[in-house]
Amino acid sequence: MNKLLRIPSRWRFAARFTAAFGLTAAVTITGLPAVQAAPPKLPPVSAKMKPGSGQRCDTRNSLPAAAKTPANSGFPNDLTGNLHKDSALPRKFEYDLPGQAYDGLKTPTAAEKTKALSKVPGDLEKNVAAWKKAADLSKKPEDRAMEIYARYFANKEGLGFKHWFDKRYIRNQINNHKGSGFERQLVKDYRLIGPDWLCEVTVELFDKNGEKVGERRYDAYNKKTKEFNEFKSNSKLTAKQLAKDRVVAKSMPNHTFRFTGAKKFTQGQVKHINDLERDVRTMRGGKTGQVRGNQRFYNPVPKTTPIRGFSDHQRWFAPACQTGGTQTQLMAAGANNCGTRGPANQRAISSGKTLEEAKRFQRDANRLDPRGTLPRGGPGGVDFTTMELRYVGGLGKGKGMQYSMRADQMPDPDNNPGFGGERRMQLSSDALFTWLALSPDKFWVNLNPDQPGKVMDAKFGKTDAGRVLLDADLLMKYDFSEALNPDKHAEGKRYWDTAPRRNGMPCFPGTRFWIEPDEAKVREQDGGIYILDSPMDVSAQWLDVDYTVPGSTECTDLSDAEKKQIEVSVNANIVPIIQERVNKDPKYADLRAVYNARVAAEYIRQTDAKSPTDFRRIINSNDVSAWPIRAPHQDWTREMVWDKYMKTYKEGIEWFELKYGGKIYKQGVGGVDFSKQPKRNISKTRFDRENRDLDNTTRNSRVSDDTSYRDTDTLYLGAGPSGDESGEDPGGEPTPAPSHTGKPTPTGKPSTPGTPDPTHSNGGQPPATSGPGGADGDLAHTGSDTPIGLIAGIAAVLAAAGGGLMWWMRRRRTAQH
């Protein structure tokens, strides 16, 4: 017998799905002559208060001198542990940051350099002093700009101007002013007044020979209770300071310690407090209450008055500042007077562009942060991959738009800092304008082997929003294929075990599947819309396709009942795996970001339909030239994705074996659909109950670079036109120390996601919607719990993503031996 024709005794079934897709330079003003290195200092072993150290906290912070210290002065104790957590809503504290008004300055020209060095030629330090004096007297921003340039030319680190300005000049101002602002607020809130309270006290440290080898500065000290206080606006304790505290504790046995933080103490910081308490307690014969922590939330608010011609603005989310053309650079850098300003922009611009750059920035920032004034986590503290648009408002003619972004805190920013903030902001901003400029009938993508010429609308295919949708479709097909692997997922095995069979072989699931919006929760109030939750749903449906891979065999005689059986099994076993990834996996983060921008865009459409806004000239303009596909994806084309799709369709994605009869099959798969957007505007009562203080958090996010939502690791960063209002301060008075003792019902089920039929003459696009009031989704208006038509177009948007985001599963049998 010809061995090539022999059928093996044990049949094997294998399915393969295509595979695709892991300084420290000293800050100096002038150069110094070389000096002989001093011998290393011995470690400190004793400590004592520096004579004359400290100043009354009340007068130091511009408060009247209290005749006596109030009985309720000071911080509360927690009777059950070392850490007191104040449950009050966050308050804010302000500090001056005038230098930020000059963030629009560019690298100085040769002529500007000559002028900046002209006051006292040859002496850099005196030249800086002369320009400072001139600027102080004239109050002219032109003179202050020259002072800044003079300081830049006096530094010897060799940094570029923008790097120096942000990481040195502004960082030094923050170090000098932010800590003082936090101290001032604590003095007021906790009544650290009267003769008992001193601020800025210093303890001197000595080695075994009695030589002074260092100092430990404390923010406040109570002479009566002998308590040293350290204030940390970022709640970060340092090992160097804690080592000094142990020396102080040993030498001054009747003194105690308290650390007050404006942010949530991490587990590591709590451990520092508990470890110090344990060590001091051991020194003192088991006496408890020697070291305590006080956690009280505050949001820092820098006070900067922008100056036209000197302050920078970003074009992100600024409707009056969008320009056409083919420019593909990020629209963040470069001084301009048109656009938005705020913490979201600043944190994004200050983040590293790459992981390595972010690590450099993080190390540098930590080195230059002696007072703990960095925002929580430092420059790498924001997980920009999770940043999404969560509020837009303040619309109106000539008003631009206010916005707030939500992001997660990086869990370990010192070793794995967040980066790529500019690119993330650009993606969300570009997506918002794309959704507005194009009419909803263009929001479709379509991977269908029967329709190679109808992948996506030509103009939509030239935007990053379109790229993200088509890439997500292909990615979901890969994930679908992987989820069917019985060696990796019990659910996949369950499908194969229960699927209809022909000749002993389980039939492949010839299904179309798609992503569509699940019920979103929104709240329209305060002149804007809060996007509270915007989950996405994955669905599957049997679909027959004419295209056949050469050499393949199909279960072509399935009954309607068997097709339905397959559909039900896929939805029960495979779809939940994919849905979990779509909503949570970092691979789909861009899809979630552009979808949230779509929700915001539809709100803008509705608002503009009622009263003109600055977006009117953009809405339905059919011009997306200002929002092209940007680096690093500038060479991306829809044809590239189609080719990848067809390659996987023909060759398969992933191999696995099933022992159902011994035949080997190659499989190919498919889909996404954002065609419907069920949404519900929740009532004000529910909004207040489930999102306590979110409205104020959102307002504060536009002025504070370190606004976290209550005691969570969720950050809110906002921005808006210059002159945007400050957030309110609902926190109320903090708890004083009395003594030192111690899924909603949706508005309607969307029509069957399969309705965008890829065989329609319009290429699978859903029909254009007629504007507000459609039946596809609802959003309540301000002050009412009655839903009104919201995102009529969102259904189309994501339908576009759905009618087009289709995958098909195919099977090809080949002989194996």
Confirm whether 741 is domain-assigned: no
Can you tell me the mean pLDDT for 223-247?
A: 94
Q: Which helix (H) or strand (E) holds 757?
A: none
Q: Lowest mean pLDDT: which of 129-143, 176-190, 329-343, 509-523? A: 329-343
Confirm whether 309 is domain-assigned: no
Q: What is the pLDDT of residue 798?
A: 39
Q: What is the pLDDT of residue 512?
A: 77
Q: What is the pLDDT of residue 601?
A: 93
Can you tell me the mean pLDDT for 294-301?
A: 93
Q: What is the pLDDT of residue 654?
A: 65
Confirm whether 221 is domain-assigned: yes
User: pLDDT-based confidence at 685, cuts 50/70/90?
Assistant: confident
Q: What is the pLDDT of residue 11?
A: 35
- From CA 479, how far away is CA 584, in angstroms rounded? 13
Q: What is the pLDDT of residue 582?
A: 95
- From CA 377, how far away is CA 750, in angstroms rounded? 42
What does pTM read for this prediction? 0.79
User: pLDDT-based confidence at 723, cuts 50/70/90?
Assistant: low
Question: 611: closest CA among 393, 394, 318, 396?
Answer: 396
Confirm whether 223 is domain-assigned: yes
SS3 308: coil
Confirm whether 405 is domain-assigned: no
Q: Is residue 497 over pLDDT 60?
A: yes
User: pLDDT-based confidence at 57, cuts 50/70/90?
Assistant: very high
pLDDT tens for residues 88-99?
888 999 999 999
Written as one letter, the residue type at 21 is: F
User: How many structural domains are present in the chain?
Assistant: 1
pLDDT tens for residues 312-343?
999 999 999 987 543 333 433 334 568 999 99
- From CA 701, how far away is CA 714, in angstroms rounded? 12
Q: Is residue 376 over pLDDT 90?
A: no
pLDDT tens for residues 430-447?
999 999 999 988 888 888
User: pLDDT-based confidence at 102, cuts 50/70/90?
Assistant: very high
Name the burial class of residue 11, with classes exposed (0-12), middle (13-18) and buried (19+) by CB atoms within 10 angstroms of its CB. Answer: middle
Confirm whether 609 is domain-assigned: no
Q: Lowest mean pLDDT: which of 28-32, 173-177, 513-517, 721-725? A: 28-32
Q: Is residue 254 over pLDDT 60?
A: yes
Question: 527: closest CA among 653, 638, 402?
Answer: 402
Q: Is residue 22 over pLDDT 50?
A: no
User: pLDDT-based confidence at 691, cuts 50/70/90?
Assistant: confident
Q: What is the pLDDT of residue 711?
A: 67
Q: Would residue 186 be called left, alpha or beta, if left means φ above 0 and alpha means ψ between -120 and 50 degrees? A: alpha
Q: Is residue 483 over pLDDT 50?
A: yes
Can you tell me the mean pLDDT for 34-44?
A: 67
Q: What angle do CA 455, 582, 450 make, to 5 degrees?
A: 25
Q: What is the pLDDT of residue 89?
A: 86
Q: Lowest mean pLDDT: which of 136-140, 166-170, 178-182, 803-807? A: 803-807
Q: Where are the alpha helices (DSSP H) in 17-166?
A: 57-60, 110-116, 124-138, 141-154, 161-164
pLDDT tens for residues 598-652?
989 999 999 999 999 999 999 999 999 999 999 999 999 999 999 998 887 777 6
For residue 212, the enclosing domain spans 46-96+178-300
Residue pair 254/226 in contact (Cβ under 8 Å)? The answer is yes
Using alpha carbons, list the distances in angstroms from residue 258 to 182, 196, 202, 297.
16, 16, 15, 16
Q: What is the pLDDT of residue 357?
A: 95
Residue pair 417/352 in contact (Cβ under 8 Å)? The answer is yes
Please provide the average confidence, as pLDDT, over all residues in the chain. Answer: 80
Q: What is the pLDDT of residue 747?
A: 31
Q: Lowest mean pLDDT: which of 169-178, 251-260, 633-642, 660-669? A: 660-669
Q: What percent of the chain has pLDDT over 70?
A: 77
Confirm whether 779 is domain-assigned: no
pLDDT tens for residues 528-567?
999 999 998 888 888 776 655 554 456 788 999 999 999 9
- From CA 256, how far away is CA 226, in angstroms rounded? 6
Burial 745-783 (b: 16+ CB within 10 A, else e): ebbeebeebbebebeeeebbbbebbeebebebbbbbeee
Confirm whether 710 is domain-assigned: no
- From CA 420, how far away is CA 323, in angstroms rounded? 23
User: pLDDT-based confidence at 731, cuts 50/70/90?
Assistant: low
- From CA 778, how far away is CA 745, in angstroms rounded? 12
Residue pair 21/645 in contact (Cβ under 8 Å)? The answer is no
